[in-house]
Structure 1
Amino acid sequence: MATFFGEVVFSASRAIDDDDDEDSFANENSEVITLDLSPAFSKPTNDVGKVTDQLVVTLGPAANVFADCYILHQEKETVGTMNKRLDRDGQPIEGAILSRLREHTDVLLCKCVKDIEQHPQFSFVEQLFSFLGNSNTSVTILSSCSGSDYKTHRQDVSFPILRCLKTSSFTGEVAAPHLEPPNTISGLASSALSYCQIHGIPAVMYVIYTDSIFMDSGAITAFNPLLKLQPFRKVAKKTNNFQGIIKAAVDRPSNLDSLYT
């Protein structure tokens, strides 16, 4: 079954023993997502949601490095973390970091540092937006996909490719062409955009399609057209260590090219 934005939900197969199926389902749902606020922001007098006009969500290495280069190097404060646990009493694993720039307190950035599995995605999205609780918040989502997922009849495609999807309530400018059918988006990006569509939240998602299995500078700089539009036009400042951050990100997965690593 496909959701509004193309997230595919697979029906359970009955070609296995019922007990095994129930055990598998229980194991898949054992991962719990919790929003843990920093002490300063857990007080009722410090309601971040009421002052947040723009939420930026970055998913995947390319989007995260782009945020590091242009936003997160500035003076900021950690609002909280979205943590994964195997159960409610388990050791937390940091899944996402919520940060706010001291100079622009109306912009909140959610940097996803770990993949969120399919089943906890709804909980992740619901807790994030329940925390904001502001119908005036606009959302920008940055993500990336493999070029092999991009479907087109054209023969002269050159990667990386930047495309966008938006909710019906989003009326602002966009920095890229709309994603052409029959292309679809899945995962946490789809869950977040679907949530915004259902609840009437203005949101736009940008996705980079790249033909490399490793991080490359082209995938990171492919987000640069967004710098001309809000909220990036207001908050973005290029770090002095721009090349160093990109080089570190490009070099990081270099050991994956060995079959025996």
Structure 2
Amino acid sequence: MATFFGEVLSVFSRAVEDDEEELEESEEDEDILRELEEKRQVRVHWGPALELIPNTDHRLHCPHLLLTVGHNASRFVSVFFLSRGDWDAVGHVSLWNERTLQSEGSACVLYRHRDSHMLMCQVDCFVAEDQLFQWTEQVLSSLEPSQVTVLSDCPAAEYQSAQPLGTAPRLRSIHTSACSEPTCCPPVELPNLVSGLPAAVMSFCQLQNISAVVYQCYSDVRSADSTAMDTFRPAVEQLAHSLNLDLCPDQDVLRKVISQAAVQSNLYI
């Protein structure tokens, strides 16, 4: 560009600078998204006691997989099953999302019964929607279960029916077409749906022709409650019989669970 005095000045296009800035920002955004995607990956970590090779055709056979989703479901197996001392922690599922509070390795612990070799997994953390398929595929693809049983908590407010549930917890079930054993409670009535991780597990089992059943407890309690926990008892009576368990709660563990729930629900502590 020439001035009035004949001096030639260089001119830089602002559009070029904007394009360069947008390109740099785009690359930074892609790096951030890539790091976030990597951080949100779900991974199964097996302990040295199990010779399980991930990402191969070697799968761990187990006669039964018991999966608990929700606070009361997880506390139920702690009180009635894990308190017996016949279980070994053999692995865990690591995941991270915006709502995970537990440290890695403590949120989804895998236990194995010493005699029957059945597996149990307590899911004590939130699994985000974009992690549901990952979680299910990572865990179930590394196993070869003959039967899958899911115990799940669900708020009573989400239950839709012409007849109210009342104040007592209610148990409902849904199973895959490969499941031939009768369930201990009525099925989930329409228009109610099973969602979240139990639904993802059921979908996987249905596609893989695995016998699976979800027992969903509808309750209006938000913390560990002995009545809500006891609602799951009929769902695992046959399983407990196969393990030679009498399904009597460990009173010390039960008191500890209930006292912890009482402290957490007290706003003044």
> Equivalent residue for 1:33?
42
Shift of the alpha carbon at 1:27? Answer: 7.9
Q: Distance in 2 between matches of 1:101 and 1:243?
A: 21
- Cα RMSD (Å) of the superposition? 2.9
1:197-225 CA-to-partner distances (Å, cap 9, x unmatched) read 12211100001111122321100001111
Report the residue type matching 2:241 in the other structure: R
Q: Is 1:206 aligned with 2:218?
A: no
Give the TM-score normalised by structure 1.
Answer: 0.78
Q: For 1:29-71, what per-residue CA distance to the aligned partner results, in whole angstroms no more than 9, with x for missing partners?
A: 4412111110121356xx9945411111011121112111222
Deviations 1:100-135 (A, max 9, x none): 111212x11111132222211211110111111x3x
Task: Choose which of 114, 117, 124 in structure 1 pairs with 2:128.
Answer: 117
Alignment-derived partner of residue 98 in structure 1? 110
- Matched ranges for 1:72-83 at <5 A: 72-73=82-83, 74-83=85-94
* Greater relative contact order (Cα < 8 A, sep 6+): 1
- The structure with more radius of gyration: 2
- After TM superposition, the score normalised by the length of structure 2 is 0.75
The change in CA–CA distance for 1:240 and 1:213 in structure 2 (over 3 A counts) is closer
How many residues are matched? 232
Q: Aligned equivalents of 2:250 and 2:234: distance in 1?
A: 17
Moved more, 142-151 or 211-220: 211-220
User: Is 1:62–1:215's contact at 8 Å kept on the other side of the alignment?
Assistant: yes
Structure 1 residues 54 and 258, CA, compared in 2 at 3 Å: closer, same or farther? closer
Q: Which amino acid aligns with 1:54?
A: H
Aligned to 2:8: none
Equivalence for 1:249: 257
What is the match of residue 70 of structure 1? 80
CA distance in 1, matches of 2:36, 2:189: 33
- Unaligned stretches of 5+ in structure 1? 1-18
Identity %: 25
Which runs of no fewer than 5 residues in structure 2 stay unpaired?
1-25, 98-102
1:27/1:193 Cα in 2 relative to 1: closer, same or farther (>3 Å)?
farther
